[in-house]
Amino acid sequence: MRKFASLAVSTVLLTACLSVDVENVWVNDEAPGGADSGFIAFSTEAQGEEQPAVVYVPGGYDPDRKWPLVVFLHGMGERGSDGWRQTEVGIGKAIRWNPQRFPCLVLMPQCSESTTWSSANNPDGAPASKHIDAAIEHVLKKYNIDEDRVSLTGLSMGGYGTFTYGTENIERFSALMPICGGGNPENAAVLAQRPMWVFHGGADPVVNPDQSRRMVEAVRDAGGDVQYTEYPGVGHNSWDNAYGSQEAIEWLLAQSR
C-alpha cells in the first residue's frame, strides 16, 4: 500500500489538455482523522482481472451510523492501473479543496485502458461494469452505508457511464449527476425513476452539449425530475464548476430512494 503525506503532482489530462496540481494526498494511518480515513486504496477482481479503486472516507467517519455513498466514474484520461489518477480530477480534487462539503464516502474505481465505462465488453478482460459492481459491494461490506442514499456521478467518459450504468442499475441509486456526457434517449423512461442533475459546458469542443440537452429533454418527456445546468463559455472542463458547487453536492447527498 502506497502512502502519501503531502504530494504535489502535475498531471496532463489526455481528454481535456489541462494541467492540474494535486496536493495533500493521504491514505490510511497518515490521514487526518485517523487510520481509517482519507483516500484508501483497494482492488477489485472480476472474471480473473484485477483493477484498482480508491474510497474516500471522511475524517469524522463513525461506523455506528449509516453514511451516504457517492460512486464516481472518471474520464478517459484517467484510465489505467496506477490506482490513483482517478482521484486527481473531478470529485477527488473537489474533496481536497473542500473536504467539509463531503460528509460521505466516495468510491472512485479506475477503468482499464482497454475499455470504457459504457462498453458491455472488454477484449482484454472483464467489462468495466463488473469492476464497478465489485467495488460497490466491497464498500457496502466494509463500511456502514445507507443503501437508500447511494448516488452515481461521473465526468466525460464517466458522464456517459453515469447514464449507461445508471440505467442498468437504477434500483441501486438514489440520484444521478452526469457531467459533460451523453446517453441513449431510449433509456429515458428508466432514468426518469430517479432525480437527476445534468451539467455541461456550453462551449464544450469534446462532447457537444447537445448530448446532455437531448438526454435532459427525453427524461423530462418521460416524466423525470431532472435539472440542467449549462455553463456559458465553458469548455470540456465543466466538472470543476459542478463538483465545486456546494449546492450541487448538498443536493446529491440529500437524495434518498
CATH number for the domain harbouring residue 224: 3.40.50.1820
Tell me the pLDDT tens digit for each residue of 90-122: 999 999 999 999 999 999 999 999 999 999 999
Q: C-alpha distances in angstroms, 235 versus 206, 231, 239?
A: 8, 9, 10
Residue 8 lies inside a defined structural domain of this protein: no
Give CA–CA dist 198/54, Å, rounded.
24
Residue 162 is given by DSSP the state H
- First vs last C-alpha separation in the chain: 35
Instruction: Calculate what percentage of the chain has a pLDDT beyond 90.
Output: 84
Instruction: Calculate what percentage of the chain has a pLDDT beyond 70.
Output: 86
Which range is most confident: 3-17, 33-47, 196-210?
196-210
CB count within 10 Å of CB 244 equals 14
Give CA–CA dist 209/72, Å, rounded.
21
Residue 48 is given by DSSP the state T
Tell me the pLDDT tens digit for each residue of 131-185: 999 999 999 999 999 999 999 999 999 999 999 999 999 999 999 999 999 999 9
Residue 125 lies inside a defined structural domain of this protein: yes
Residue 74 lies inside a defined structural domain of this protein: yes
pLDDT at site 37: 83
Residue 201 lies inside a defined structural domain of this protein: yes
Tell me the pLDDT tens digit for each residue of 12-26: 222 332 222 333 333
Residue 18 lies inside a defined structural domain of this protein: no
Please state the φ and ψ torsions of residue 32, each to the nearest 5 degrees.
Answer: -60, 130
pLDDT at site 31: 40
Closest CA relative to residue 71, chosen from 124, 107, 115: 107
Handedness of CA 151, 153, 157, 162 (dihedral sign): positive
pLDDT at site 100: 95
Query: Stretch 58-87: mean pLDDT, rounded?
Result: 96
Q: Write down the number of H helices and E strands in the chain.
A: 7, 10
Residue 148: which domain range?
28-254
What domain count does the chain have? 1
